[in-house]
Amino acid sequence: MAKNTKDEQQATSPYDAAALPVPSPRKKREVPDGLWMRCPNCEAMLYRKAVTENLEVCPKCEHHFRMGGRARVEHLCDPGSFEELFAEIAPADPLNFHWQGKSYAKRIAGEQKKTGYVEAILTGATYIKGRRVALGVMAGDFLMGSMGSVLGEKLTRLIEYATEHSLPLVVVCISGGARMHEGALSLMQMAKTSAALARYDEAGGLYLAVLTDPTTGGTTASFAMLGDIIIAEPNALIGFAGPRVIANTIKAELPEGFQRAEFLQEKGFVDTIVHRKELRSEIARLIDYCKPG
């Protein structure tokens, strides 16, 4: 498997895949720098630009590379239609969290500088193929899409916005789980977002959860698994505990394909697996089916 997968597995903790240690920026990029790159799946040498133009999907074998938050918004939304909401909500450092001479506050500042995002989720109102939706896109390129207070608050406000404006809700998930650096505050976001989804559900809202590689820990055990319809990208890793933790627990190798999108569909936890190229039209189609009247 890809190098990225190994990093993310190592960082997944026993009980929750909390925030991941951030490897050097070079290693963290979904796709390495340079003109050429190798597909970790089919090992073909690929022209970097051709992959990007192909929505970060390998043109040879359809392997889905990870997509950054901003790129994902650009891909999903009708051109120029994304109106960002709740961008004023920014991370604090409520525990004054320090470790080994490092600080959470500095780590956050570094991530903000690197990505240009304030936090690991972008929220807004937009159009997808002409359908008005409330959209949340987690940013895997920001502290591994880990969930802290800001992510919980922005997502909750988005859900409340969708409730108030009777909009379909689409949330694209990518996450290492709850963020350790905010302690149990991060854990509480699972319940907070789920409670907001309960109200949205009562108001008759349609929630489409899109699970991408990887979706783990507290994110999976809350809003990711609460979609009225759960869509997954091909071969996405989706689970609660990380594969390495499970392998350590059972002291055996994990079966081939374990915790992958296809496996989850087989076990009954994913409605449909959709190729990235089809995602926009599939979302539009599902919204049309579930529209009242």
Question: Please, which of residues 49-88 interact with other proteins by CB under 8 A?
Answer: 87-88
Q: How far is the CB of 14 from other proteins (least distance, A)?
A: 5
Closer to other proteins by Cβ: residue 237 or 274: 237
- Based on the shown chain and the rule CB under 8 A, indicate whether residue 4 belongs to the binding site for other proteins: no
Range in contact with other proteins (rule: CB under 8 A) among 23-31, 60-68, 237-245, 273-281: 237-245
Closer to other proteins by Cβ: residue 19 or 210: 19
From the list 149, 163, 175, 212, which residue makes contact with other proteins (rule: CB under 8 A)? 149
- Based on the shown chain and the rule CB under 8 A, indicate whether residue 14 belongs to the binding site for other proteins: yes
Q: For residue 11, give the nearest of 2, 24, 23, 20 by alpha carbon.
A: 20
Question: What does DSSP assign to residue 168?
Answer: -
Range in contact with other proteins (rule: CB under 8 A) among 68-76, 129-137, 152-160, 275-283: 152-160
From the list 8, 141, 218, 260, which residue makes contact with other proteins (rule: CB under 8 A)? 218
Buried (b) or exposed (e) across 32-42, using 16+ Cβ within 10 A?
eeeeebebebe
Q: CA 56 → CA 179, 216, 256, distances in Å?
A: 27, 21, 24
From the list 68, 124, 140, 152, which residue makes contact with other proteins (rule: CB under 8 A)? 152
Range in contact with other proteins (rule: CB under 8 A) among 16-24, 39-47, 64-72, 280-288: 16-24
Residue 60 structure tokens: 């040879």
- Based on the shown chain and the rule CB under 8 A, indicate whether residue 142 belongs to the binding site for other proteins: no
Please report the sign of the dihedral spanned by the C-alpha atoms of residue 161, residue 229, residue 238, residue 250. Answer: positive
Q: CA 90 → CA 56, 112, 272, 277, distances in Å?
A: 29, 10, 34, 32
From the list 143, 169, 173, 178, which residue makes contact with other proteins (rule: CB under 8 A)? 178
- Based on the shown chain and the rule CB under 8 A, indicate whether residue 175 belongs to the binding site for other proteins: no
What is residue 170's three-state secondary structure? strand
From the list 180, 232, 236, 283, which residue makes contact with other proteins (rule: CB under 8 A)? 180
- Based on the shown chain and the rule CB under 8 A, indicate whether residue 35 belongs to the binding site for other proteins: no
Rounded CA-CA distance 175/221 in Å is 11
The answer to whether residues 173 and 136 touch, using CB atoms and an 8 Å cutoff, is no
Residue 212, phi then psi, degrees to nearest 5: -120, 170
Q: Which of residues 238-277 bind other proteins (CB under 8 A)?
A: 239-241, 245-246, 249-250, 254-255, 258-259, 267-269
Residue 165, phi then psi, degrees to nearest 5: -100, 10
Q: How far is the CB of 52 from other proteins (least distance, A)?
A: 30
From the list 190, 231, 236, 279, which residue makes contact with other proteins (rule: CB under 8 A)? 190
Q: Which of residues 99-138 bind other proteins (CB under 8 A)?
A: 99-100
From the list 120, 137, 197, 231, which residue makes contact with other proteins (rule: CB under 8 A)? 197
Number of shown-chain residues binding other proteins (CB under 8 A): 71
Question: What does DSSP assign to residue 221?
Answer: T
Q: For residue 137, give the nearest of 69, 185, 59 by alpha carbon.
A: 69
- Based on the shown chain and the rule CB under 8 A, indicate whether residue 191 belongs to the binding site for other proteins: yes
Closer to other proteins by Cβ: residue 62 or 228: 228
Cα–chain center distance at 73: 12
Q: Name the β-bridge partners of 260.
A: 237
